[in-house]
Amino acid sequence: MNMSPQRLADYLGHIRDAISRIERYTALLDEQDFLNNELIQDAVLRNFEVIGEARGRIEKHDKPFADAPPELSCTAACQMRNVIAHGYFQLDFRIVWRTVKSDLPRMRDELIRQGDS
């Protein structure tokens, strides 16, 4: 069952907002600053939860859309939600940092392209 276009837009908006927050929170940091700042780590993790939850709902309710753009597939950014929710004490913040710097820019760019089409 496909979700309504408005609901899909809402979930994509949640993902965009979460990416934007993570990018703002980490913009002036290098990896070591991030690894030493628990407040920023917590804020980033919270927004990864939002990304993963929204992406999971899209996948569940709008499979054709979920399968289309590879940059929005359940990459490390989306899978991070499960690690956070179910295995927090196994979380490696170096991996979180790499995900911020590699996956999120691709997801953001794809969301922008989706919005332009």
Residues that are catalytic: 81, 86
How does DSSP assign the chain, residue by residue?
-PPPHHHHHHHHHHHHHHHHHHHHHHTT--HHHHHT-HHHHHHHHHHHHHHHHHHHHHHHH-HHHHHS-GGGSS-HHHHHHHHHHH-GGG--HHHHHHHHHHHHHHHHHHHHHHHH-
